[in-house]
Structure 1
Amino acid sequence: MSQSVSLRTLYIRYKLWVWLGLGLLLVGLVWRGCRADKQWQHIKPFGIRMPLKYDVHGIDVSHHNRRIDWKRVSQMQAGGIRLQFAFIKATEGATHIDRQFARNWREAKAAGLLRGAYHFYHPRRDPKRQADNFIRQVKLQRGDLAPVLDFEIDRGIPAEELIDGLRIWLTQVEAHYDIRPIIYVNANFYKRYIAGNFDDYPLWIADYSNTQLTRYDTDKLVLWQHNKNGYVNGIQGFVDFNVFVPDPDELKKICL
């Protein structure tokens, strides 16, 4: 009889410990969720939720954004956030020049924004000619952001051939500007082509689903495009929003 009571008591204690453990786990998950949610806030003038844990916010634009009033862009502040940098499309493929590039490049700097230029890469075009196209159009100055290779399409090119082409463009552009280019890529292409092949290059990831960027190399992740549907004074239509991921003091590392 005493042994039976003892076992029953142990069983009850065991169940209590299990329920206590599950309760603590649930509280922890709720706390983490609340903490993560507090790092994001919907900023009405921008029209999107913004990740508040980052201090440096910016946008990227092309001719699709039409004529931009850069003074209004630089003056916009909401929710304690102001835009500090802009990446501007310069070229595409071997011959194309973005029709708004020259104006955007000049006026973004005049408005006081940190500026950078990007090239939209075509895997079926000669990578050397594509690099030449970018170099001819983009005259980087001290303080400008590093050049960007925008890699979004593969067109069915074999992986090895595509990777070789990317490497040619990156090497040629780095040699010209004496700074390592940034690679802009989505999560799928990062896994298929970039990870393990270009780990020494600064990474700009386009990922609209994650609030935690743990699946990327955090040592190289410098920019995160977290939303493509924001609004900015002085720009018509949707705008891509980005943050600088490392500590703000490290921003100079990706500038000339």
Structure 2
Amino acid sequence: MRIKKAGRLLLIFFIIAAITAGAWWWRQRKALNFVRYEEFGIDMPVNYTMHGIDVSKFQKEINWDAVQQMQVGKIRISFVFIKATEGITRQDAAFKRNWKKAGEAGLVRGAYHFFYSTRDPVKQAINFKNVVQLTHGDLPPVLDIEVHNNQPPAVIRSTARIWLEELEKAYGVKPIIYTNLRFYNTYLGDEFNDYPLWIAHYYQKQRPRVDRQWVFWQHSDIGRVNGIKTIVDFNVFRGDSAALMKLCLP
């Protein structure tokens, strides 16, 4: 009798799990509404209200007032991620200007570091801290981790965690992890599920196929914006303006 009862409870558990997984899958598969905006040069997921870009020195000199003032329909640029550092010594040549001008234009700013698991993570954290002064209203620091350099997942995870913990101590907030879908699943996994995720997944009309919540989605790398002469990456934030400000440094 006890065995039968245990079997029924186990069956109920699996049914509930299957229903929960099915509901999650349906929410992920539910079609988004994309609208083609010739001014931006790409299809935009209009289900989201907060749109942004990310830039580096490769976007050359940017007219940030033109970026902030551009509006097509209900779409406008609300936030920007700016490359600050790379490895243990490199600093993006355009960071200081981009950081200052984007802030003066009234955009919500975030700074990111391009990470190498083959370099000392503490020295990489110091490189970032020496360059970036985050204040109230800025987004948390970002770990851009997308190259493996032939390192095993265990090494990538351990070095990344050191950088993340160093930056959390420095700024008092959990850093954001930026990566692509394949890299996250292969090298990071669920060990970093407590960090906000910025996921890259291009040119498709469904939400990113990642088995956890994401905060930012980089959905295209060929967008156009007034004030920028080159193509640029486009992102959306999963929330409204109030939620975006809640994510920022207090």
CA distance in 2, matches of 1:123, 1:78: 41
C-alpha separation in 2, matches of 1:192 and 1:247? 31
The 5 Å alignment of 1:77-116 reads 77-116=71-110
Match of 2:149 among 147, 150, 155: 155
Counterpart residue number, 2:201: 207
Corresponding residue for 2:218?
225
Q: Residue 218 of structure 1: CA displacement? A: 4.6
> 1:217: Cα distance to partner?
4.3
Matched with 2:246 is 253
Counterpart of 1:132?
126
Q: Aligned residue for 1:75?
A: 69
- Contact 2:201–2:208 under 8 Å retained in 1: no
Confirm whether residue 243 of structure 1 aligns to residue 236 of structure 2: yes
Matched residue type, 1:153 = V
Do 2:208 and 2:217's aligned partners in 1 also have CA atoms closer than 8 Å?
no
For structure 1, the residue ranges without an aligned partner over 5 or more in a row are: 1-32
Specify the code of the residue in structure 2 equivalent to 1:245. R
Structure 2 residue identity aligned to 1:79: G
Partner of 2:112: 118
Task: Please report how far the alpha carbon of residue 248 of structure 1 lies from its aligned counterpart in structure 2 after TM superposition.
Answer: 3.9
Provide the residue aligned with 1:22 in structure 2.
Answer: none
- TM-score, length-normalised on structure 2? 0.85
SS in 1 for 2:66: helix
Q: Match for 2:223: what amino acid? A: G
Runs (4+) of structure 1 exceeding 2 A deviation are: 209-219, 246-249
Larger Rg: 1
What letter is aligned with 1:161?
A: V
The one-letter code sitting in structure 1 at the alignment partner of 2:243 is E
**In structure 1, what is the equivalent of residue 183 of structure 2?**
189
Counterpart Cα distance in 1 of 2:101 and 2:203: 33
Cα deviation per residue 1:31-62 (whole Å; 9 max; x = unaligned)? xx9x936x100011000000000000000000
Which residue type is aligned with residue 242 of structure 1?
A: N
Partner of 1:14: none
State the distance in 2 between where 1:163 and 1:205 align. Answer: 17
Given that 1:117 and 1:148 are in contact with CA atoms closer than 8 Å, whether structure 2 keeps it comes out as: yes
1:17 maps to which residue? none
1:36 matches 2:31: yes
2:40 pairs with 1:65 = no
TM-score normalised by L of structure 1? 0.83
- Select the residue among 46, 49, 69 that pairs with 1:52: 46
How many residue pairs were aligned?
221
Matched, 1:234 2:227: yes
Aligned identity (percent) is 50
Determine the C-alpha separation between the residues in 2 that align with 1:214 and 1:230. Answer: 18
What per-residue deviation string (whole Å, max 9, x for no partner) do you get for residues 103-143 of structure 1? 00000000110101000001211100000000110000100
